[in-house]
Structure formats: C-alpha cells, structure tokens
C-alpha cells in the first residue's frame, strides 16, 4: 500500500473521504463535493440518520458527476474534541470498512473543524499514520488468500494545504509505524520459527539502520554469572541469548542513556511446572516485552532521535526436559543474590533479574524501564485495557503515564513497598521466585526491584495488552498489538525533544 500527500483539491478516481462534525454539519470539502454531485450528500443525510458522530460513516456509491467510485462522509465528532488520536482512529476505520473493496485507492480530504487545535500538517500525518497502522497484516503463512478478507487498496492519499510540514511530520510517524510493525511481526511469529537465536539474528539485522547490536550466547552468560537466565533456558534445545541494542543519537556522546529491558520468552510452556493446554496457547507471544524494546530502538534509529538509548532483551525458551530446571532448585543471579525456584513457570522474573542487573551495572542509565508479559494476575486486576505500572520513582512514573495518555497506550500505577517483601522469603536462599495466593503481580514487581540497584526504574506488566483475541481497536488489526513501541518512543521524545 502506497501512502502519500497531495495538495490537489478535487477528487480523482477511487474512494473520496470528506468530513462532517456533530456541531456544524458538513465541513467545507464535503459541501463542495455535495455541490459537485448535485446535492446527493445532503439528500442522504436525513434518511440515514448520520449525525457526524466519531467513526459514523455515510456512504454514497457510484456518485454521478465525478470520477470517484464512492464518497464516504466520516463523522469527526465535536470539533473541540477532534484531535490526532481521533484522526488516526477515523482513518483506520475507513480502511477497515474498505476491506475486500476493489476501488483501488482512497483519498482523504478532511478540513480542520472549528474549535480543533490540530494543525493541518499534524492532521494529515496522523490520518496517514492511522491508515498505516490499520494496513498491517501477518499473512505470510497463508498459501491461499481469503480474497475478500484482504485489504486490496493500492494507494492512500491525504490532501493537505501544508505539504512540506505534513511530509516532515509523517517521516517521524512512519518510523514509529515501522517499529510497531516489527514488534507485531516478532510477537505473531510462531516459536518454531522464532527461537532465541532467530530473534537475535533479526536484531542483528537492524545494524543497517544505525543501531549497535551485540549478542551474548550461553557461554558468555555463564562466564558473567547469569545463573537465573540460564536456568530458565536449560531445558530447551534452543540456546538462550542476551541481546544489547544501542542507539547513540545524543549530541553529547556520554549522556546517560534510557535503558529499556524486555522479557523475551520465545515460548513459555511453564517448564516442569507445566502449564495446561489452554494456558499454553499464545505463549509464543511471551516475548512481547522484548519485541516492544526492539521495535522502539528501531523507531529511534529510523527517525534519528536526539537521545541515547539501550535495549537489553533476555531471550530464552522455557521447556520441560531431562535437563530442565526443577522446582526447588536454587540459582545464583548475576547480582550475587540467590533465588529458590519454587515454580518454574515464574520464569520471566528470573531472566529479567539478570538482564536488569546487567543493564544498570553496565550502562548506568538515567532511567530504566522493563516491559514483560509477566503475570496472569495483572489481567485479573486490570483486564486488557491498562498495563500495570510499578515504579520506584514518581517522576519516571509521571512521565510514563503522560506519554501513555498521548499515544493511547494506557497504564495504571500499582504499588510496591517493603510490606510485600515477606511474600518472597525463602527457607534456604535469599528469596523465592513466587509469592503466595494474593498480589501476584506486585510480588513479581517487588522481586524485580531487587535487581535494579539504585536506578530510577519502572516495570510494565504487559500481559494483558501485548496481544488480543478479536479486534478491539481499528488501529490494531492483528493478534499482536505492538504495545509499548509508541510509548517508549513518546517517552524519549518528551524527555529530549520537548
């Protein structure tokens, strides 16, 4: 699908999209078009009950007098509440509506409604962004196309009076979309294809975009003393990997970086504490944190963000096997602390323990943020609407909550505190890897906190948002959501480009 901007005015062939608001009716472009088609739009308003509510669409097929194959009048809602995120949703909704349609191309001609503070360039760029995010598909494994279910559009054009500025704004958003698509691809990819080694290979391939990428194998991790990470992967035929991605875009080379750490379980069977059949489904996506970190680093590189950032992803496969880690085993972490592994299915915190310690010890980051599909309990608490946010630093927590609001990736802050430490008391080691019956997500976060040194840190439990059944949001037409890429990019932008 080709995406572009044009300053032309009058509709050519294909679908022509114009706008209307709840508090003012047809916008200027829609009025002009209405004239050109002899008032067909106005005539259709009454019987269809179209009010201009957000996402409402009025469709006029084969209009007489113009070249367009159809007209879509889309509702923008009230002018004052129309913003970038509504624009994205509208563009995505229009594309979703055109699935299977053979019109070939679509042109958006939306005016800025009264009361709206969006600039023309931003409107155009965010319309393109919404269309782009909706165009994602993971269908490389289909040998037969389900003809009607596919997006056949060849070309999307956004008409704008601010061409140059729109193209500049789009360049950044295009980079964000590329990061989101990479994260979605990685999460959608089945585990018989995406092993830790294959994931690492795909990370190394990002060098061509200006990232520095290092891969540590099991021998190197053993030398360093990453007993917790290695214990998780020891039952798998596939070698565990620790990948470090670096983007050095700050003017001052020595500026302390942002560190993003990702849980990368290419498959989580539970290990010897085996999951049930149903509970195991979807566990190819247990590397959603690592995917988001990788996607975010790609985005920063593609748009040459003026900051330093490192991504550390802990890649392993949690499998039962004669050599697998047992419940009751004790492992020694890179930090020196020991952990009694009472449940091999609480493996994410084990790989993160070593990755977090490594990241803060080596890079001395300004902030460290980890993303992990860590606990089923976070879905019990928050459902699929919010990710859980845990932090030892109110400033960082505030920055993340703000960034999340702006980009549509919402978090809800959860508590940490010494009162939860008793959950982690082990009979024979420094701690155990599970708590009791209650506060499962907090116990996990409290565990992670022991491996961040004094670093200002936040943990995002993304188990509820990394993938979805069905489609809740027109911007996310896939099982894998790519959650976290926009957030991390926004955080970096807010901190260094504000």
Element (H, E) at 156: strand 155-159
Q: What is the Cα–Cα distance from 3 to 132, expressed in whole angstroms? A: 8
In the beta sheet, which residues pair with residue 60?
71
Q: What is the Cα–Cα distance from 219 to 384, expressed in whole angstroms? A: 38
In the beta sheet, which residues pair with residue 20?
26, 75
From residue 13, how far is each of 37, 91, 102, 156, 229 by CA, in Å? 14, 18, 12, 12, 57
Q: State which residue has the least CB distance to Mn ion.
A: 345
Q: State which residue has the least CB distance to ligand BES.
A: 376
Q: What is the Cα–Cα distance from 287 to 371, expressed in whole angstroms? A: 9
Q: What is the Cα–Cα distance from 297 to 290, expressed in whole angstroms? A: 11
Element (H, E) at 128: helix 120-134
For ligand BES, the binding residue among 111, 174, 286, 370 (CB under 6 A) is 286
Minimum separation from the CB atom of position 261 to Mn ion (A): 17
Q: State which residue, 63 or 440, has the beta carbon closest to ligand BES.
A: 440
Q: Is 275 a catalytic residue?
A: yes
Q: What is the Cα–Cα distance from 219 to 481, expressed in whole angstroms? A: 34
* Interactions with Zn ion, residue window 260-289 (CB under 5 A): 265, 268, 286
Contact positions toward Mn ion, by CB under 5 A?
Answer: 268, 345, 347
Q: State which residue, 257 or 285, has the beta carbon closest to ligand BES.
A: 285
Does position 84 interact with ligand BES (CB under 6 A)? The reply is no
Does position 377 interact with ligand BES (CB under 6 A)? The reply is yes
Q: Residue 376: which of Mn ion, ligand BES, Zn ion, none does it interact with, CB under 5 to 8 A by kind? A: ligand BES
Minimum separation from the CB atom of position 161 to ligand BES (A): 46
Which is the catalytic residue, given 349, 432, 450, 490?
349
* Interactions with ligand BES, residue window 168-207 (CB under 6 A): none
Q: Residue 463: which of ligand BES, Mn ion, Zn ion, none does it interact with, CB under 5 to 8 A by kind? A: ligand BES
Q: State which residue, 87 or 272, has the beta carbon closest to Mn ion.
A: 272
Q: Residue 434: which of Zn ion, Mn ion, ligand BES, none does it interact with, CB under 5 to 8 A by kind? A: ligand BES
Nearest to 418 by CA among 395, 396, 440, 449: 449
Size of the site for ligand BES (CB under 6 A): 15
Does position 434 interact with ligand BES (CB under 6 A)? The reply is yes
Q: Residue 368: which of ligand BES, Mn ion, Zn ion, none does it interact with, CB under 5 to 8 A by kind? A: none
Q: State which residue, 308 or 375, has the beta carbon closest to ligand BES.
A: 375
Which is the catalytic residue, given 31, 155, 212, 275?
275
Size of the site for Zn ion (CB under 5 A): 4
Does position 475 interact with ligand BES (CB under 6 A)? The reply is no
Does position 198 interact with Zn ion (CB under 5 A)? The reply is no
Helices (H), strands (E): how many in the chain? Answer: 15, 18
For ligand BES, the binding residue among 346, 369, 407, 439 (CB under 6 A) is 346
Q: Is 349 a catalytic residue?
A: yes
For Zn ion, the binding residue among 19, 311, 348, 477 (CB under 5 A) is 348
For ligand BES, the binding residue among 75, 196, 440, 477 (CB under 6 A) is 440
Minimum separation from the CB atom of position 275 to Mn ion (A): 7
∠ CA 409-402-475, nearest 5°, is 25
For ligand BES, the binding residue among 24, 306, 320, 376 (CB under 6 A) is 376
Q: What is the Cα–Cα distance from 295 to 180, expressed in whole angstroms? A: 6
Percentages helix, strand, coil for the chain (3-state, rounded to 5) are 40, 20, 40
Q: What is the Cα–Cα distance from 369 to 460, expressed in whole angstroms? A: 7
∠ CA 365-356-483, nearest 5°, is 85
Does position 340 interact with ligand BES (CB under 6 A)? The reply is no
Does position 160 interact with ligand BES (CB under 6 A)? The reply is no
Does position 314 interact with ligand BES (CB under 6 A)? The reply is no
Nearest to 241 by CA among 223, 221, 261: 221
Q: Which two tokens stand for residue 199?
A: 């994931």
Answer yes or no: are the C-beta atoms of 258 and 492 closer than 8 Å. Answer: yes
Nearest to 199 by CA among 219, 209, 185: 185
φ/ψ (deg, to 5) at 387: -85, 155
Q: List residues with catalytic annotation.
A: 275, 349
List residues near ligand BES by CB under 6 A.
268, 286, 343, 345-348, 373-377, 434, 440, 463
């Amino acid at each position: 699908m080709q995406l572009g901007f044009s300053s032309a005015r009058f509709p050519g062939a294909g679908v022509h999209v114009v706008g209307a608001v709840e508090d003012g009716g047809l916008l200027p472009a829609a009025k002009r078009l209405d004239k050109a088609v002899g008032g067909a739009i106005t005539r259709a308003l009454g019987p269809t009950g179209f009010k201009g509510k957000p996402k409402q669409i009025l469709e006029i097929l084969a209009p007489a007098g113009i070249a367009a194959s159809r007209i879509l009048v889309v509702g923008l809602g009230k002018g004052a509440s129309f913003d970038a995120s509504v624009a994205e949703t509208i563009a995505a909704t229009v594309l979703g509506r055109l699935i299977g349609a053979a019109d070939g191309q679509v042109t958006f001609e939306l005016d800025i409604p009264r009361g709206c503070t969006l600039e023309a360039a931003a409107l155009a760029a965010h319309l393109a962004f919404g269309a782009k995010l909706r165009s994602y598909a993971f269908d490389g494994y289909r040998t037969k196309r389900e003809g009607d279910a596919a997006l056949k559009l060849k070309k999307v054009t956004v008409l704008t009076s601010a061409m140059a500025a729109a193209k500049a704004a789009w360049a950044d958003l295009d980079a964000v979309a590329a990061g989101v698509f990479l994260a979605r691809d990685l999460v959608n990819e089945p585990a018989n294809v995406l092993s830790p080694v294959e994931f690492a290979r795909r990370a190394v391939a990002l060098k061509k975009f200006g990232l520095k990428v290092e891969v540590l194998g099991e021998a190197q991790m053993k030398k360093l003393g990453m007993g917790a990470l290695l214990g998780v992967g020891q039952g798998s035929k596939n070698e565990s990997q620790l990948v470090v991605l670096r983007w050095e875009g700050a003017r001052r080379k020595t500026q302390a970086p942002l560190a993003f750490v990702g849980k990368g379980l290419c498959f989580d069977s539970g290990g010897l504490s085996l999951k049930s059949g149903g509970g195991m489904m979807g566990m190819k996506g247990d590397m959603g944190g690592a995917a988001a970190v990788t996607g975010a680093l790609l985005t920063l590189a593609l748009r040459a963000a003026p900051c330093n950032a490192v991504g550390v992803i802990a890649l392993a496969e949690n499998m039962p096997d004669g050599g697998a880690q047992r419940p009751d085993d004790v492992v020694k972490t890179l930090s020196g602390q020991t952990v009694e592994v009472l449940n091999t299915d609480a493996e994410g915190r084990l790989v993160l323990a070593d990755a977090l310690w490594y990241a803060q010890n080596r890079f001395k980051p300004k902030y460290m943020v980890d993303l992990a599909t860590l606990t089923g309990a976070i879905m019990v608490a928050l459902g699929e609407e919010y990710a859980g946010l845990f932090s030892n630093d109110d400033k960082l927590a505030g920055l993340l909550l703000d960034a999340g609001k702006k980009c549509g990736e919402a978090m809800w802050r959860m508590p940490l505190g010494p009162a939860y430490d008793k959950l982690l008391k082990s009979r024979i080691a420094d701690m155990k890897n599970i708590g009791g019956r209650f506060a499962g997500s907090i116990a996990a976060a409290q565990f992670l906190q022991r491996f961040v040194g004094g670093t200002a840190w936040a943990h995002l439990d993304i188990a509820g948002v990394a993938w979805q059944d069905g489609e809740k949001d027109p911007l996310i037409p896939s099982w894998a959501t790519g959650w976290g890429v926009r957030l991390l990019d926004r955080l970096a932008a807010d901190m260094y480009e504000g």
